[in-house]
Chains A and B, each alone.
Chain A
Amino acid sequence: MTDPAAVIAPGSRLWDVLDRYDATGLGEASTGDDGSDPVARARLSAAVSEELSWGDVGLAITCGMTRFAAPWIQMSGNNELIERYCSPGVRTIGCWALTEPDHGSDTVSFTHDSFRDPQIKANCVARRDGDEYVISGQKSGWVSLGSIADVITLFCTVDQDRGHSGGGVFVVPSDLPGVERPRPTDKLGQRPLNQGEVVFHDVRVPADHMVIGPDVYPMALEGMLTQGNIGMSTLFVGVARAAYDLALDYARERVQGGRPIIEHQSVQSRIFDMFRRVEAARALTRRVVESQAIAPVPFQYAVAAKTFVTQTAFDVSSAALQIFGGNGLTREYPIEKVLRDARASMIEDGCNEVLGLVAAVRL
């Protein structure tokens, strides 16, 4: 497998993919505000997301993150930042730095008392110093695009007396003195998606780079997690469908007992089961996507979709690999890679079990 550092090296295929993605105009085509029906636009965006992740979910997330930073930068009202990173034709890769080496689920458990416990100390803290904030500490190796982002959207603790609930959101250009990105993470799946640690060594940012303060941080975090979970749902419908499509194609080609295995009832039954799982995952996803286009979706609905869809992607991928038999275990066939991609999603953007516990409080 390719070294994670080689994946993001200058001249790698990753940059060619991003160049060609920009050239398609797909980002604007499915998300631009052209005055059309917002529900129709959201539905189209979900379909595009499904197609891209059907191709490769790691690259689909990468392409999507080229649009992540702009809204946060705009919130700063800092014209210098806006001109540098949000001008037409400028590609700005963003990242969302939330989890920490010692705090994974801690950082998302906003409905639990532990979230407000000042005894639970964060690994990354910003403190006010005159007209600036000074950021010190570390974010985990799971910051997507962390190694290559131009701008870091940093969720970190500001008021330590409030525990993880006393956070803030900062816009941090990655070329500031003191920002260190030691190494990309070597991992099981979604290997085209760079993920890596970000370390802050007394990084100074102007006060206007804090776009969300502690008083509204829990609400902002919930909104971000809701949006992220809906996004994960759209992406992993595509992964589930990719697994189903691969299994169907293989079953039509593979001959055993003198006929294609699709003609064996056991295989037919399993293929249809995969089909209906994909359809159910898409239906639930579309429900939250279309609702979110009109009004904020309550957190528990987004979590229901994310946990259901990612579990479906894993189950369908595993069932697909079983249809491939021994061939599915080899790297000659693509299904093992889809299974690895799907497995990661059950932990990514919140471990499914913990997300369920956080959401259950809202029922």
Chain B
Amino acid sequence: MSVMTLPSAHLLDASFTDEDREVVALAHRFAVEVMRPAARSSTA
């Protein structure tokens, strides 16, 4: 995932390295692609 897709909530996290941004972006993608559909479809 590109660092450009980091959620805007982290706009002020200027101290993040590019590697940090990739980790946060991965977590966001996991939330969008896995967690929300799982919560909606079968568990919530």
Chain A positions near chain B (C-beta within 8 angstroms): 1-2, 6-7, 12-14, 16-17, 20-21, 24, 26, 29-30, 40, 43-44, 47-48, 50-52, 54-56, 58-60, 191-192, 241, 278, 282, 334, 337
Contacts and interface: CB of A to CB of B under 8 A. Distances in A.
B31 A337 contact: no
Contacts of B16: 43-44, 47
A317 B16 CA distance: 28
Nearest to B16: A44
22 contacts: A6-B42, A17-B38, A24-B30, A30-B23, A40-B15, A43-B15, A47-B24, A48-B23, A51-B31, A52-B35, A54-B7, A55-B30, A56-B44, A58-B43, A58-B44, A60-B35, A192-B38, A192-B39, A192-B43, A278-B9, A282-B9, A337-B44
Contact of A26 (B13, B30, B40, B44): B30
A44 B35 contact: no
Interface residues of B, number: 25
Interface of B: 7, 9-10, 13, 15-16, 20, 23-24, 26-28, 30-32, 34-36, 38-44
Contact of B31 (A7, A55, A282): A55
A43 B10 CA distance: 11
B20 A55 contact: no
Given A26-B27, A30-B23, A44-B23, A55 B42 contact: no
B20 A21 contact: no
A7 B44 CA distance: 9
B43 A14 contact: yes
B10 to A, nearest CB: 6
Given A17-B35, A29-B23, A2 B15 contact: no
Nearest to A7: B43
B15 A55 contact: no
Given A24-B30, A26-B23, A55 B39 contact: yes
Contacts of A7: 42-43
B9 A50 contact: yes
Nearest to B20: A44
Contacts of B23: 26, 29-30, 44, 48
Contacts of A20: 30, 34
A13 B10 contact: no
Contacts of A56: 31, 35-36, 38-39, 44
B33 to A, nearest CB: 9
Contacts of A14: 38, 43
B9 A59 contact: no
Contacts of B35: 17, 52, 55-56, 59-60
Nearest to A237: B9
A1 B39 CA distance: 11
Contact of B44 (A1, A17, A47): A1
B13 A13 contact: no
A62 to B, nearest CB: 10
A51 B34 contact: no
A20 B37 CA distance: 13
Given A43-B15, A56-B36, A60-B35, A51 B43 contact: no
